[in-house]
Amino acid sequence: MNKKKAIVLVSGGLDSATCLAIAKAQNYECYAISFEYGQRSRSELQAAKEIVAAARIVEHKIFSLQMGELGSSALTDVHIKVPEEESEGIPVTYVPARNTVFLSYALAWTEVLKGEAIFMGLNARDYSGYPDCRPEYVAAFQQLINLATKRSVEGGIIKLETPLIDLNKSEIIKIGLRLGVNYGNTVSCYQADESGRACGRCDSCRFRHKGFVDAGVDDPTRYQL
């Protein structure tokens, strides 16, 4: 019998690496998708390639978007500083409609492949408060999937799987370590340098480091300092 196919969004960070390991452990035939969207941290994409190579899955597609030219986020516009302290509200690292664009590409590829699931490492606990990481957003995208595609109209099911959504970072790390994820290969920092070393100060670095501490394991992150 053919295995069921899943598309997994792989950013190069800790969450998506764990998510890929979970999809594999659930016995899906996995296809990875990543995006070059003008992100400031290019080493993130290099990390995605290494994570996917190590996972030995069927295929990895990297789509180049032109979202960077829209500007308006600290992640894609070098003129906006990445904050290094906690802030109120949705931070400037929010990229307009980013997850919606990512998921729409994933949906297109899933339909072409006749896949049954899209895995995304969204997390609504140790995160920065982005609107497109919340469970209600996931539910709305699932509803869209059910109406948008020829495959769904003809009775096929494409499920948006977000297995990390309710977990905190230390829980995610413990699951990943059990599944053999090498977190030394992952880059979470919003402003990692070219060789993937983390700043240790941005939101994403702080959540990540606390996760390793809370999980009681060594932090394998390579830091700039």
Query: What number of chain residues touch its own copies (CB under 8 A)?
Result: 43
Given the complex with its own copies, which of 105 and 223 has the nearer CB atom? Answer: 105
Q: Which positions from 17 through 46 interact with its own copies, judged by CB under 8 A?
A: none
Which of residues 97, 180, 184, 224 is near its own copies by CB under 8 A?
Answer: 97
Distance CA 183, CA 15 (A): 10
Binding status of residue 47 toward its own copies by CB under 8 A: no
Establish if 88 lies at the interface with its own copies (CB under 8 A).
no
Letter for the amino acid at 179? L
| Residue 78 binds its own copies (CB under 8 A) | no
Q: Is the dihedral of CA 43, 47, 53, 58 positive or negative?
A: negative
Q: How far is the CB of 176 from its own copies (least distance, A)?
A: 27
Type of residue numbered 217: V
Q: Is there binding between residue 148 and its own copies (CB under 8 A)?
A: yes
* Of the residues 4, 25, 27, 71, which one makes contact with its own copies according to CB under 8 A: 71
Which x/- pattern, by CB under 8 A, does the window 99-138 give for its own copies?
A: xxx-xxx-xxx-xx-----------------xxx-x-xx-
* 74: its two tokens: 């600290």
Q: How far is the CB of 116 from its own copies (least distance, A)?
A: 15
Q: b/e per residue, 11-37, with b = 16+ CB within 10 A?
A: bbbbbbbbbbbbbbeeebbbbbbbbbb
Is 78 or 140 the residue whose CB approaches its own copies more closely? 140
Bridge partners of 9?
33
Amino acid at 141: F
Report the distance separating Cα 124 and Cα 146, nearest Å.
23
Instruction: Give me the helix-helix angle, 203-215 and 169-178, nearest 10°.
Output: 60
CA 86-91-96 angle, 5° bins? 160
Binding site for its own copies (CB under 8 A): 63-67, 70-72, 89-90, 94, 96-101, 103-105, 107-109, 111-112, 130-132, 134, 136-137, 140-141, 143-144, 146-150, 152-154
